[in-house]
Amino acid sequence: MGVMLSVENLDVYYDSIHAIKNISFEVNEGEIVTLIGANGAGKTTTLHAISGLVKPKNGEINFCSNNLCNTVAHKIIRLGLAQVPEGRRIFAKMTVQENLEMGAYIRNDNDKIVDDFERVFERLPRLKERRRQMAGTLSGGEQQMLAIGRALMCNPKMLLLDEPSMGLSPLLVNEIFSIIQDVNKSGVTILLVEQNAKKALEIANRAYVLETGSIAMSGDADELANNKKVQSAYLGG
């Protein structure tokens, strides 16, 4: 199990604000790793730096031996790194099927794309029932499933998930998290940014706690879930 993603000494500024302060972490192949922390701790900014949406001032990001700091965003997807953005960002005026097709736009292995459609529908049967429906008419939970399905159509090695439980009922949160576990079991490595620290730590192998742009703690997810500091700050205990 080798290192799939490594982030070293990363610094990100927004104008004069030092949003990410010299952070380092890694994700091994096959893992679910989560970044937890309060609002504004820098979790989303970290994901945006990895997926090429913001340029770091210093540091290195390596994915499968590729230096992402020198790679433009659309090429990063081709390397096998797909992001499910915060707030879903689905194409509301397109059907479910068309949204999924957009996920596969970078591919030209058409025969395999058909198989992947079936695999996504198998994993997310609710999308199959609604494949001809306009994506904008789906419920929040279904839109989140569609955002995950669309990312899976890129056939990624690794999935970056940004706040997948946001705005969902507890029942749907459980469903989305079991989908994430299922995707991971099928061989996709996961980096999960999540405010629902309790759920994130339940499914993750390892976790990093971000506080105002720095990593305050890291360790096995179980260990952190039982840590008194983490419990009082993030688990309401």
pLDDT of residue 15: 87
pLDDT of residue 69: 92
Domain-located, residue 105: no
Domain-located, residue 133: no
- Per-residue pLDDT 10s for the chain (237 aa) are 799 999 999 999 998 899 999 999 999 999 999 999 998 899 999 999 999 999 999 999 999 999 999 898 889 989 999 999 887 789 999 999 999 988 887 777 777 888 888 889 999 999 999 999 999 999 999 999 999 999 999 889 999 999 999 999 999 999 999 999 999 999 999 999 998 999 999 999 999 999 999 999 999 999 999 999 999 999 876
* CATH assignment at residue 209: 3.40.50.300
Domain-located, residue 229: yes
Domain that holds residue 200: 3-90+157-234
pLDDT of residue 156: 94
Q: State how many domains the chain has.
A: 1
pLDDT of residue 8: 98
pLDDT of residue 157: 96
Domain-located, residue 140: no
Domain-located, residue 151: no
pTM: 0.93
pLDDT of residue 237: 63
Tell me the longest C-alpha to C-alpha distance in the chain: 52
pLDDT of residue 73: 85
